[in-house]
Structure 1
Amino acid sequence: MTTVQSPPSAPPTGLRPRVVARTGLYVVLAANAVAVAVFFVQAGFAGSNALIVLGRLAGLYGALLMAFQLLLVARLPWLDRRIGMDRLTSWHRRVGFGLLWTLVAHAVFITLGYAQFSSLGPVDEFVELATTIEGVLRAIVALVLIMLVGAVSARFARRRLAYETWHFIHLYTYLAVLLAFTHQVTVGTTFTTSPAATAYWWTLWGVALGSVFVGRLALPLWRNLRHQLRVSAVVPESDNVVSIYMTGRDLDRLPARAGQFFLWRFLTRDRWWQANPFSLSAAPDGRSLRLTAKTAGDGTAALRHIPVGTRVFAEGPYGAFTTLHRTRPDTLLIAGGVGITPIRALLEELHGHTVLIYRVASDRDAVLYGELLELASAKGAELHLVTGPATPDKLAPEAVAHLVPDVCDRDVFVCGPPGMTSAVLRNLRELGVPKQQIHFERFSLAG
């Protein structure tokens, strides 16, 4: 469907928010890496052989990576809006494996280094260090916990574990952080030999742990106490899709944008402990919030039975899938299945000429299609409903170019099942759409 388009609006100018945030993180990490090296050299190497020196340096950089990991998953709004939880979580995972091998190197080099000074073998020296030096046993427990978390975070294990099980095991990381920090305070040469180094490490850990406290505990608690969300309506959209409307206090002061999502907890007797990520399916209007979910198991199937008036604890808003990252006046939105929910919210907020391609298996799978028709008509947008089986690819490069000849001159927002999203991203690259104009978020990584 095509109607008269609305006047185009100018895209944001200046440096892209994601570039600014990503560069800032790199600069912070590099500056701290230099600081660690400086304090390490200032502490000196008296009484150490090469293995002990390497082990100490590996331990210090392991502590730095551990603090950086905490920052990545602190869910600080400034970082999350610019980079996105999915990318931050992915970086956290990669840094985590680097941390694991750094700490293993620390333990191995320290053990072998001290073994050179004694008549003991490596295993006996390891036991000797653990039983005679304060703080070493705590460090060993921390390393074991990090190895356990690393094992369950490997792809082959993560795919076989329920999210709740994986998340519960992952919480042991905080215990590992505490044990590792007390080990560093107790026996860390660099920590204890210089007042400046001591102040640096206390500040580093204070910022890292403080960020987690603020982003993951204090801010969600404060927002929920302030806004007092409750379910105001539960509306079935189809046999397997339901929309939930929520109202609360001062929602005009909740910094949510179209395209973002929350981790929702509906505080009923059987659901209060479950947090599920659902995108807003309507642009926030300061009066209410709406999510739309498709049945994907017993948990989501029970959503249509939530009583009106149920209190809601919502963590968020999260995500960088917003108009903050626009670079062009005009936009192409591509949605697949229930991935239409954040796309529908974006359509409501966008200015300039917009084309929406909605990919579904059949007409009856087109969730919220009536609303899309009304929105497209009101905003002068083009709406294309593309139906049919997954193969052949109906969003192949030539198909997209036929529907949107000026695709390379538009921002493109993509949301859908992982397979479809990956295929569309490949097709857009083949069409020559610049990378900075392609926006997507892998919501399966939320939480």
Structure 2
Amino acid sequence: MTTVQSPPAPPTGLRPRVVARTGLYAVLAANAAVVAWFFAQAGFASNALIVLGRLAGLYGALLMAFQLLLVARLPWLDRRIGMDRLTSWHRWTGFGVLWTLLAHVVFIAFGYADSSGMDPVSQVVDLAETVEGVLRAVVALAIILVVGAASARYARRRLAYETWHFIHLYTYVAVVLAFTHQVAAGTTFTASSAARTYWYTVWGLALGAVVVGRAVLPLWRNRRHQLRVSAVVPESDTVVSIHITGRDLDRLPARAGQFFLWRFLTKDRWWQANPFSLSAAPDGRSLRLTAKTAGDGTAALRRLKVGTRVFAEGPYGAFTALHRTRSESVLIAGGVGVTPIRALLEELHGHAVVVYRVATDRDAVLYDELRELARVKGAELHLVTGPVSPDKLAPAELARLVPDIADRDVFLCGPPPMMNAVLASLRALDVPGPQIHFERFSLAG
């Protein structure tokens, strides 16, 4: 068994997540300042409502460009922040876009109506008929309203992912329409060639990041590595491991704890992409994922044939040893969430305690491997079995298993209810937030 040792992170060093988050905030703040400067340079309208409306439109568009950056899947950001958090920030930024653009329309409508004597609705209709680009802006806002409604928590829980995703794709249409409206009708850009150049640069970089991160980089990596299934190994009645080989895998920047979006290029599966974590630390020769049956798609993994071509997007995720703050760690896994935990144990340096929570001994996937790896690494391994209630990972139980848990990094992966319960226990045990590492892989789709 090959293990990869990683040096302990210096406790006083800047945390990668903080560096990346600060960088994103700085980029947004700097561009907000530049937008305000160009806006002031163009001069102000006599009507205060029109001034507020134009500024709200500019900042709404800037937030829209920032949204694109958040979901571009750029490796530097993803490794430091994680796709789940970036996706969450994208969602909340989307509501910021919605409200700023609504404010833009309302202020502009009432501002111009105050000058013309029309009612606000008639004023919007008149602007759409007489001013270049305004009709495009109205259509863009309508699309954003539909996407915003579909992204609201109530609707999101009731829509199939495929339906929600299809609706969400229309955001790109809204982006194009809103951008062309601004450069055609925005006084900030019609008055200054420098402002237009700046705006084209901002949007070119944002859209370019999406193209590079979500298309160019995956296509290039898959062409380079030529991934194929090398073995299909049933681990239990409901769990299967897929072994994958390819070319130059030592140059694939994957780490233990990360995941890929996997497409197996068969007639009935090529269009499906599923997020599965690596269940073994990358060794430069092969990759392994381990999946539990959760529907027809994952059940079909057992029928994959050796030699099947694989298209993998990634690696993604910040659930790695890059974020360690202590030399010793606790790894807590629930069910098939043991897959990235098992890979992490292989890579982590320093003493580790592994807590594996399952309903019964039969549910302990990869337990023999985990036990042997713990023996080789000198780690403690606790298999915790039994029904959900009473909570066997409550604060008192965790403190009994790991008395010094507050002095260790904690890596956590499992079903959402279990993760929520363990996070509550960790807070009750006063484990500092920077020492708690987890990722909600359900958001990766």
TM-score by length of 1: 0.97
1:357-396 equivalent positions in 2, closer than 5 A:
357-396=355-394
CA distance in 2, matches of 1:280, 1:87: 20
Q: Please report how far the alpha carbon of residue 10 of structure 1 lies from its aligned counterpart in structure 2 after TM superposition.
A: 3.5
Q: Please report how far the alpha carbon of residue 9 of structure 1 lies from its aligned counterpart in structure 2 after TM superposition.
A: 5.4
CA offset digits 1:313-368 (Å, max 9, x no partner): 10000000000000111110000011001001001111110100000011011010
CA distance in 1, matches of 2:19, 2:267: 44
1:65 alignment partner in structure 2: 63
Q: Please report how far the alpha carbon of residue 390 of structure 1 lies from its aligned counterpart in structure 2 after TM superposition.
A: 0.8
1:104 alignment partner in structure 2: 102
Q: Please report how far the alpha carbon of residue 12 of structure 1 lies from its aligned counterpart in structure 2 after TM superposition.
A: 3.3
Q: Are 1:123 and 2:127 counterparts?
A: no
CA distance in 2, matches of 1:324, 1:42: 44
> Which of 196, 199, 204 is the matching residue for 1:198?
196
1:177 alignment partner in structure 2: 175
- Unaligned 5+ residue runs, structure 1? 1-6
Identity of aligned residues (%): 79
For the residue of structure 2 that corresponds to 1:71, the secondary structure is helix
CA offset digits 1:369-407 (Å, max 9, x no partner): 111011011111110000011111100111111111111
User: Which amino acid in the other structure matches residue 16 of structure 1?
Assistant: R
Tell me the C-alpha RMSD between the 2 structures: 1.2
CA offset digits 1:120-139 (Å, max 9, x no partner): 21121111111221111111
CA distance in 2, matches of 1:145, 1:8: 48
CA contact (8 A) 2:229 2:306 kept: yes
> Which of 114, 138, 141 is the matching residue for 1:140?
138
User: Which amino acid in the other structure matches residue 29 of structure 1?
Assistant: L
**Which deviates the most, 11-20 or 167-176?**
11-20
> Which of 77, 86, 90 is the matching residue for 1:79?
77
1:430 alignment partner in structure 2: 428
1:303 alignment partner in structure 2: 301
1:149-298 equivalent positions in 2, closer than 5 A:
149-298=147-296
For the residue of structure 1 that corresponds to 2:390, the secondary structure is coil
1:92 alignment partner in structure 2: 90
CA distance in 2, matches of 1:337, 1:161: 27
CA contact (8 A) 2:137 2:178 kept: yes
1:315 alignment partner in structure 2: 313
CA offset digits 1:202-221 (Å, max 9, x no partner): 11111111111110111011
Q: Please report how far the alpha carbon of residue 196 of structure 1 lies from its aligned counterpart in structure 2 after TM superposition.
A: 2.2
How many equivalent pairs are there?
440
Q: Are 1:17 and 2:13 counterparts?
A: no
1:324 alignment partner in structure 2: 322
CA offset digits 1:52-79 (Å, max 9, x no partner): 1111001000010000000000000000
1:400 alignment partner in structure 2: 398
Give 4+ residue runs of structure 1 displaced > 4 Å after superposition.
none
CA contact (8 A) 2:6 2:348 kept: no
CA contact (8 A) 2:279 2:342 kept: yes
TM-score by length of 2: 0.97
CA distance in 1, matches of 2:307, 2:426: 44
CA offset digits 1:222-244 (Å, max 9, x no partner): 00110111111111111111111
CA distance in 2, matches of 1:53, 1:336: 55
CA contact (8 A) 1:260 1:280 kept: yes
2:25 alignment partner in structure 1: 26
CA contact (8 A) 1:8 1:329 kept: no
CA offset digits 1:94-129 (Å, max 9, x no partner): 000010011111111111111112132112111111
- Unaligned 5+ residue runs, structure 2? none
CA contact (8 A) 1:81 1:319 kept: yes
Q: Please report how far the alpha carbon of residue 50 of structure 1 lies from its aligned counterpart in structure 2 after TM superposition.
A: 1.1
For the residue of structure 2 that corresponds to 1:159, the secondary structure is helix
CA distance in 2, matches of 1:358, 1:104: 49
